[in-house]
Structure formats: structure tokens, C-alpha cells
């Protein structure tokens, strides 16, 4: 039963369902099922659960595809629904020919094949990756009308496994902790990004596996950089080169992009951390409520600075807040599920969620974010998101 129909029927109606299951006499109960398969696929009737694609017609392979957050539960994103951001398409890499080279200041030039890296001790962590441009339609003057995933789905969460970067840096004799590490991908765009060497030593790793299987081509096969909690663009895919340097590369994505003017004339640059954010993923635009419906307001929260400490939910446009229940375990730098049961009384309501992380940072209201960052921002939009339920039970995206 679809969520919309469930909500329309209400929990009470469901309790009266006849005890005879509709499937009892169905065709599939009388004939043998399909044979085994080498690699399983989602049920055919779930084929509507897809990434939405927004591609740039002028540059081949440039664009994004969005995780359908409104269709997913739990904290892990299936690999086939992980959001994508490519600047110049997905390279088709022969893993037998691909190598990773580490060189630069105070480093002994060292090269690893994929096969060699796979033999190292691997670490695994459940971590979100969020594009710094996620949610940037929030800067628009009018709230765009789309389901939550099509506005905020440039974020996904996976169990990533790979080789700690500290091992490779030590193997190459890098003793210094100050300075920068420049990471480069082997796609046609040749993305290169700089990060502080200290972070590289601290918790970065070379991602080789995603949710237990080798990386998908779209997400960086055969290897990508994992930079826990920091913006997506640093997670260089199809990683092929690491260079120890005294100064950052000042590449396109550190200057022409990801540098933003603030009110007052100062600029933000190297704003690595993804700050705390939360989203109600159900109900969402496209769902319809009936008066008296029981609604499980649920969603996800995450922070690039550590664990989620608290998520509050408001049904009155932020006038009052109540604590949501957090699904355990609450892991740092990982999606945290929250839920708050509610009964809709048929009057206009505005649903919001607000996250607080372990540092005490509280997700800002939209007005506060605009006051601090100006009207013309583009990256790192993490304000509270508002969904209005009108008297007809229809849901729309609003600014309050």
C-alpha cells in the first residue's frame, strides 16, 4: 500500500481489514517462482524509486542526480540510489591499469596498484557524503515545489571501507602534519582539491568498498578519497594522485567556486565542514493527509562535526518545539533517523525539524542563515526546512 493511500485510509481503517489475505489465491501461490539470479535487483513494482537527473546540456557528463530521500528509510543509502555529482561524466576505468601515486614535499614518491591496496588492513565507517551545493534552491526567492529528495537529495549515507590515508602517508615517509594534501581524480575533468594534511592523517581513507561491495563506477570506482564530515567535493573520485604541498592548489573549485562573498565584503573560503542539518522526509510534497490521520513525522539529521545530539519537531511554524525520538545507534558523521508521532486535526500546520549537534550548534532558521550569509549564497545551505499542510491536507514547501 502506497504511503499516500495509507495516510488517507488512516490507521483505524487498516485495523478493519479482512483477515483473508488478498494473495491467498493469486497466481504466484500456484506456480514455482523465478530462478536464482547472480545479482539481485529491486522488485519490478518498485521501479519508480529512482534518482532524478539534472544534467547540464552544454557540458557532457556535467550535472547531478538526486537520492530519493522521500522513498527511503533507515540510515544507509542503497548504492544504486547514492546521489551523483560528476563534472565530466563517469570514466570507465580498467582497475588493472589504475594506480595511486603519492609524492610531493617531504614525501618519498610511492605508487600503489589497486590489487596492492586491497591487501591492506581496511577500516569501515558509516558516513554521509553531502555536496556543498546541496539544498541551494533554498536561496531562491520563492520556495520551489518538489519532494524533499529533489531539493535536498545531494546527500547520501553509506558504509565505506578502505585504507587509512595515515598508513600510506607514513609509508611514503611523510612526517610533517602541517601543510596541504592535493588530491586529483583521473576523470576527464581531472578534479583536484586541497585539504589540510592534518585532516588527511586524522581520519581520511582511500574508499574501496561501499556498503560491503566494491565502489560503483558512479561513486569513484576503483577508489575515492573519503574525508569524513567534510564537503562532497573533497571526496575525490577515481583518485589517482596525492601531492604533499606547502600551499593549497587554488584550483577552480577552491576559487571560482566554493568561495563566497558575505555581507560586509568578506569572503568564505575552504569552508570544509558540513554543518548540522535535518530534513523531514515523510510526509512530503505529494502526500495528502485526511483530518484525524495519525502521521509519523520522520526524517534524517546529520552533522559534519560529530554526533546529532537532538532533533526537535515543530508543527506550528516554529512557535513551539518538541523533541523527536532518535533511532539508535547515533553515530558521528552519519545519518540519524528521527520520528515524532502526530495527529493532524485538519487545520493548517507548518512542519519543521531542527537539529542540534554534539558541539551545541543548532541548525539555523532560514532568516538567520540569510542574515549571516546574504541573499546570493550558493553553497552550504543548511537552514530549517518548512512544509505547510493546508486545510485540504495537501503539503507544500514554504518559507516562514
Ligand X SMILES: Nc1nc2c(c(=O)[nH]1)N[C@H]1C(S)=C(S)[C@@H](COP(=O)(O)O)O[C@H]1N2
Output the residue with the shortest Cβ distance to ligand X: 185
Residue 334 engages ligand X in binding (rule: CB under 6 A): no
Residue 155 engages ligand X in binding (rule: CB under 6 A): no
Q: Choose the stretch contacting ligand X; rule: CB under 6 A; options: 21-29, 52-60, 113-121, 230-238.
A: 230-238
Query: Residue 273: CB partners within 8 Å, gap ≥ 6?
Result: 229, 230, 231, 304, 305
Residue 83 engages ligand X in binding (rule: CB under 6 A): yes
What are the CA-CA distances from residue 67 to residues 72, 170, 364, 379 (Å)? 9, 37, 24, 18
CB contact at 8 A, 331 and 303? no
Residue 191 engages ligand X in binding (rule: CB under 6 A): yes
Minimum gap (Å) between residue 291 Cβ and Mo ion: 42
CA distance 135 to 386: 13
Is the backbone peptide bond immediately before 283 cis, with ω within 30 degrees of 0? yes
Chain Cα centroid distance, residue 357: 17
In the Cβ-directed half-sphere of 91, how many Cα atoms lie within 13 Å?
A: 21
Nearer to ligand X, 172 or 191 (CB): 191
Minimum gap (Å) between residue 336 Cβ and Mo ion: 22
Nearer to ligand X, 7 or 131 (CB): 131
Pick from 72, 138, 182, 187 the residue near ligand X by CB under 6 A: 187
Chain Cα centroid distance, residue 384: 16
Written as nine digits, the cell of 183 is: 588530491
Residue 51 engages ligand X in binding (rule: CB under 6 A): no
Helix, strand, or coil here: 119?
coil
Q: Choose the stretch contacting Mo ion; rule: CB under 5 A; options: 31-39, 172-180, 232-240, 253-261.
A: 232-240
Minimum gap (Å) between residue 331 Cβ and ligand X: 19
Helix, strand, or coil here: 81?
helix
Nearer to Mo ion, 131 or 239 (CB): 131
Size of the site for Mo ion (CB under 5 A): 4
Q: Choose the stretch contacting Mo ion; rule: CB under 5 A; options: 130-138, 143-151, 187-195, 349-357.
A: 130-138
Residue 189 engages ligand X in binding (rule: CB under 6 A): yes
Residue entry with cell 547515533:
330
End-to-end alpha-carbon separation of the chain, Å?
33
Restricting to residues 63-102, name those near Mo ion by CB under 5 A. 85
Pick from 151, 233, 300, 383 the residue near Mo ion by CB under 5 A: 233
Helices of type H across 110-225: 114-117, 148-152, 165-171, 197-203
CB contact at 8 A, 160 and 208? no
**Pattern 254-293, binding to ligand X, x per CB under 6 A?**
----------------------------------------
* Site residues (vs Mo ion, CB under 5 A): 85, 131, 232-233
* Site residues (vs ligand X, CB under 6 A): 82-87, 129, 131, 185, 187, 189, 191, 218-220, 232-233, 235-238
Amino acid at each position: 500500500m502506497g504511503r499516500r493511500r495509507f495516510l488517507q485510509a488512516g490507521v483505524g481503517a487498516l485495523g478493519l481489514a479482512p483477515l483473508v489475505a488478498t494473495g491467498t489465491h493469486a497466481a504466484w501461490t500456484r506456480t514455482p517462482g523465478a530462478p536464482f539470479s547472480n545479482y539481485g535487483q529491486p522488485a519490478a513494482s518498485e521501479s519508480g524509486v529512482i534518482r532524478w537527473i539534472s544534467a547540464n546540456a552544454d557540458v557532457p557528463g556535467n550535472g547531478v542526480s538526486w537520492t530519493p530521500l522521500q522513498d527511503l528509510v533507515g540510515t544507509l543509502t542503497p548504492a544504486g540510489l547514492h546521489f551523483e555529482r560528476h563534472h565530466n561524466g563517469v570514466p570507465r576505468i580498467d582497475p588493472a591499469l589504475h594506480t595511486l601515486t603519492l609524492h610531493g614535499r617531504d614525501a618519498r614518491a610511492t605508487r600503489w596498484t589497486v590489487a596492492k591496496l586491497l591487501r591492506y588492513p581496511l577500516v569501515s565507517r558509516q558516513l554521509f557524503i553531502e555536496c556543498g551545493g546541496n539544498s541551494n534552491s533554498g536561496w531562491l526567492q520563492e520556495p520551489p515545489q518538489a519532494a524533499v529528495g529533489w531539493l535536498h537529495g545531494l546527500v547520501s549515507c553509506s558504509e565505506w571501507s578502505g585504507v587509512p590515508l595515515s598508513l600510506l602517508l607514513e609509508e611514503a615517509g611523510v612526517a610533517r602534519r602541517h601543510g596541504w594534501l592535493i588530491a586529483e581524480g583521473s576523470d576527464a575533468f581531472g578534479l583536484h582539491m586541497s585539504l589540510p594534511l592534518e585532516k588527511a592523517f586524522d581520519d581520511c581513507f582511500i574508499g574501496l568498498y561501499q556498503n560491503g561491495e566494491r565502489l560503483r563506477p558512479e561513486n569513484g570506482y576503483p577508489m575515492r578519497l573519503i574525508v569524513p564530515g567534510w564537503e562532497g567535493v573533497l571526496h575525490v573520485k577515481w583518485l589517482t594522485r596525492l601531492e604533499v604541498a606547502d600551499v593549497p592548489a587554488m584550483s577552480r573549485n577552491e576559487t571560482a567556486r566554493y568561495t563566497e562573498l558575505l555581507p560586509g565584503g568578506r569572503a568564505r573560503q575552504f569552508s570544509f565542514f558540513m554543518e548540522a542539518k535535518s530534513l523531514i522526509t515523510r510526509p512530503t510534497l505529494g502526500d495528502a493527509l485526511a483530518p484525524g490521520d495519525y502521521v509519523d513525522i520522520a526524517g534524517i539529521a546529520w552533522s559534519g562535526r560529530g554526533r546529532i545530539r537532538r532533533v526537535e519537531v515543530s508543527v506550528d511554524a516554529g512557535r513551539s518545539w518538541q523533541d523527536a525520538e532518535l533511532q539508535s545507534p547515533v553515530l558521528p558523521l552519519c545519518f540519524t533517523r528521527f520520528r515524532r508521532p502526530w495527529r493532524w486535526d485538519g487545520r493548517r500546520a507548518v512542519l519543521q525539524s531542527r537539529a542540534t549537534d554534539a558541539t551545541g550548534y543548532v541548525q539555523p532558521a532560514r532568516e538567520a542563515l540569510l542574515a549571516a550569509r546574504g541573499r546570493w549564497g550558493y553553497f552550504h545551505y543548511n537552514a530549517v526546512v518548512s512544509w505547510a499542510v493546508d486545510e485540504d491536507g495537501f503539503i507544500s514547501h514554504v518559507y516562514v
